[in-house]
Structure 1
Amino acid sequence: MHVDFAPLRIPFRRRLQTLVVLQWVFSFLVLAQCCAALFVTLLFTRLWFVSVLYATWWFWDRRTPSRGGRSSRYVRSLRLWTYFRDYFPIHLVKTADLDPKKNYIFGFHPHGVLVTGAFSNFCTEMTGFQTKFPGLKTHMLMLPLWFRIPFFRDYIMSAGLVSSDKESAKYLLKQEGGGNVAVIAIGGAPEALDARPGAFTLQVKNRKGFCKLALQFGVALVPVFSFGENEVFDQVNNPKGSFLRRLQERLQALMGISLPLFHARGVFQYSFGLIPYRKSIHTIVGKPIEVERSENPTLVEINELHQKYIEELSNLFEEHKTKYKVPEDRHLIFT
């Protein structure tokens, strides 16, 4: 196998970018396990009281991930995120004004392997969200599982991540005075199994819970499409019906998380590894779909809003695709 090594002479800034992206991938893949191991290990050392004190705090604070979380502007504004942004680079594109006195649901597409664009745009301040949409605060919904892991839960909450259970979303959307944005990767973990360069398959058809929430609280839906999201990682071939895909879907059903076998480049070479490719990501925030409140929405109302959302998402994709080198004959595939 031929290995394409990185040049020895690389600007220091690019090396920093790679280092920051490396720690981000590490955080996604193994930081949770390391935090859990640390918590248990401390119990059998002279520092056992640290885990006991943390467990006490954890019990007292257990509802915070479902009550708006505990976002830290300091963490979200750390300079290291500028290196993360510039590695790809990642851009946030605004297409319409949003009223800061209202609450919103952002439907993010596609999920990609590690929701790279969503993290950079909505969990850090480095792509200018606060400047483009003053008065709005983003909260990205993440599987409840991750908020049960000691230490790790506090780290992800500091970036604005909150639990994806229904009570969490309802808490955000019912707040008086507006200003809250619930960011939902609509396709969820299963969609990650279709994430590969050139793929435009979205799992949306049977996902209508976000439409019901929008109707119950009368909040606008905002379609968001991230061009380039699927380009930053390759994935082992896993067509539907294959043994690998059936195994992945079985594990996803058991654990709630998907396990895409992704790969890209390494730190010192470009041929293999888990570091994403340097591919541009442009996240387009579409126009809001205004929703009239219906505390007990009927199935007809939910289906009508869902169909309208799919149409607006398709329009957003078609309007911008040629700017980001998507062939004219490529269209979104909804499953």
Structure 2
Amino acid sequence: MVEFAPWSTPWERRLQTFAVMQWVFSFVALALICTGIFIGLLFTRFWFISVVYAIWWYFDRDTPRKGGRSSIYMKKGRIWKYMRDYFPVHLVKTAELDPSRNYLAGFHPHGVLATGAFLNLCTESTNFSATFPGIRSYLMMLTLWFRFPFFRDYIMGGGLVTSDKESAAHILSKKEGGNLLTIIIGGAQEALDARPGAYTLLLKNRKGFIKLALVHGAALVPIFSFGENSLYDQVDNTQGSCLRWIQNRLQKIMGISLPLFHGRGVFQYTFGLIPFRRPIYTVVGKPIEVQKILNPSQEQVDKLHQLYIKELCNLFEAHKLKYNVPADQHLEFR
């Protein structure tokens, strides 16, 4: 039975739905459309647009791994405030961040589309700059997405940078400080576990970010986004199932995961690709002090990794009851 949205739905809520719809569209199809436009223009009288862009793109090719090119105008766009209010999304501060320091943050969980990470760290919809004065936010994204013409410029506008060591080193080595580089630790593979009530994180063997923090002496900041996994339902793909085997294979080949998720539609609430209206509370934890070690041993990496997991668990336990997580629910790691 399809449940349709009432005709009396306020205009404000319709604008919120539109804001979310365009964002989902940008991740599902915009990169391919941009590529199609770039190629298509070559066969029209406007061919010079693609040629000029290609030349500029060549000289600008290293920008995504050298801090990107964020735009305050894009970050402050009104459309992101409508998107924030759709869920709504909240940024929760638990400690100060010293603007003279650089920080490496781990974001958990990935969710299907990392909605909380985008709104809180790539836009000003939740007033990040006012909440953490003097801190510039960067969010890592798969390098693959920066290979699409036009689309690369769009995502850089929000402070997105490539997810490689060179990119991280460029930001974390800035002596003036004031930089927060966030990595969604579970990555695309963790998206396959994103469903309501799931609190399993892909973290047990993810230690590259720990070594980065040690090499650059960047304080570690755990971030947990409550509600991130509740935005979509997902087709059952338990470990060992045929579907999960196929998804894992595709993830290894393509570098991106393909979760079979579903939410609601634009004019009905039963099915579609629009996320459900469920609140997100992104809690930024207390920084973990890290001593700079240029060549950390495996023992030092493991020790800091265990401390990070402990602090992340403490953050989750301290806030879970506020955000409707059952008392007997705890984080699981694999």
User: Normalising TM by the smaller chain, what interval?
Assistant: over 0.9
Separation in structure 1 between the aligned mates of residue 173 and residue 77 of structure 2, nearest angstrom = 30
- Residue of structure 2 equivalent to 1:16: 15
Compute the displacement of 1:182 (Å).
Answer: 0.6
- Residue of structure 2 equivalent to 1:277: 276
- Residue of structure 2 equivalent to 1:131: 130
- Structure 2's unaligned 5+ residue stretches are none
CA shift digits 1:203-254 (9 cap, x unpaired): 0011000000000000100000000000011111001111110111101000
1:305 aligned partner, one-letter code: L
Separation in structure 1 between the aligned mates of residue 315 and residue 14 of structure 2, nearest angstrom = 35
Separation in structure 1 between the aligned mates of residue 217 and residue 158 of structure 2, nearest angstrom = 27
Matches within 5 A, 1:207-218: 207-218=206-217
Matches within 5 A, 1:24-35: 24-35=23-34
CA shift digits 1:3-42 (9 cap, x unpaired): 0000010110000000010000000100000001111111
Structure 2 SS opposite 1:323: helix
Compute the displacement of 1:128 (Å).
Answer: 1.4
Structure 2 SS opposite 1:36: helix
- Residue of structure 2 equivalent to 1:313: 312
Separation in structure 1 between the aligned mates of residue 195 and residue 313 of structure 2, nearest angstrom = 20
Compute the displacement of 1:318 (Å).
Answer: 0.4
Matches within 5 A, 1:178-257: 178-257=177-256
Compute the displacement of 1:132 (Å).
Answer: 1.0
Runs of 4+ in 1 over 3 A off after TM superposition: none
Structure 2 SS opposite 1:56: helix
Structure 2 SS opposite 1:310: helix
Which shifted more, 221-230 or 39-48? Answer: 39-48
- Residue of structure 1 equivalent to 2:302: 303
CA shift digits 1:186-218 (9 cap, x unpaired): 000000000000000000011000000000000
Structure 2 SS opposite 1:125: coil
- Residue of structure 2 equivalent to 1:86: 85
Superposition RMSD on alpha carbons, in Å?
0.4
- Residue of structure 2 equivalent to 1:42: 41
Separation in structure 2 between the aligned mates of residue 37 and residue 189 of structure 1, nearest angstrom = 25
Structure 2 SS opposite 1:85: helix
2:216 aligned partner, one-letter code: F
Compute the displacement of 1:126 (Å).
Answer: 1.0
Residues 1:174 and 2:170 aligned together: no
Q: TM-score, normalised by structure 2?
A: 1.00
Structure 2 SS opposite 1:101: coil
Separation in structure 2 between the aligned mates of residue 38 and residue 73 of structure 1, nearest angstrom = 26
2:177 aligned partner, one-letter code: G
1:237 aligned partner, one-letter code: D
Separation in structure 2 between the aligned mates of residue 301 and residue 177 of structure 1, nearest angstrom = 27
Compute the displacement of 1:114 (Å).
Answer: 0.2
Separation in structure 1 between the aligned mates of residue 156 and residue 27 of structure 2, nearest angstrom = 14
Number of residue equivalences: 334
Q: TM-score, normalised by structure 1?
A: 0.99
CA shift digits 1:145-204 (9 cap, x unpaired): 000100000000001100001100110000011011111000000000000000000000
Separation in structure 1 between the aligned mates of residue 189 and residue 151 of structure 2, nearest angstrom = 23
Q: State the identity as a percent.
A: 64
Structure 2 SS opposite 1:221: strand
- Residue of structure 2 equivalent to 1:154: 153
